[in-house]
Amino acid sequence: MNVESEHFSVTGGDFARAGAISIRVKKALSNLGLPRCVIRKVAVVVFEAEANIISYATEGEINYIISDDHIEIHIDDRGQGIPDLSMALREGYSTADEVVRGMGFGAGMGLPNMRRYSDEFQIESKVDQGTSIRSIIYLHGGENE
Partner 1 sequence: MKLVSVVKELGLKTHCGANLSDEVTGGYVGDLLSDVMAGATEDQIWITRQVHPNIIAVAALKELAAIVTVAEPEAETVVKAEAEGVALFSTDSSAFEVSGRLFKLLEP
Residues that bind partner 1 (CB under 8 A): 15-16, 18-20, 22-23, 26, 40, 43-44, 47-48, 51, 103-110, 112-113, 116
Q: Would you give the DSSP letter of residue 129?
A: T
Output 105 or 129, the one with its CB closest to partner 1: 105
Task: Give the burial class of 31: count Cβ atoms within 10 A of its Cβ; 0-12 exposed, 13-18 middle, 19 or more buried.
Answer: exposed
Q: What are phi and psi of 65, to 5 degrees?
A: -130, 130
Based on CB atoms, which residue is closest to partner 1, 66 or 114?
Answer: 114
Q: Which is nearer to partner 1, 20 or 127 (CB)?
A: 20
We find the least distance from the C-beta atom of residue 53 to partner 1, in angstroms, to be: 14
Cβ(59)–Cβ(115) below 8 Å: no
- Which residues, including other chains, have CB under 8 Å from residue 31's CB and lie 6 or more apart? 3
CB of 40 to partner 1, least distance (A): 8
Nearest distance from C-beta of residue 19 to partner 1, angstroms:
2
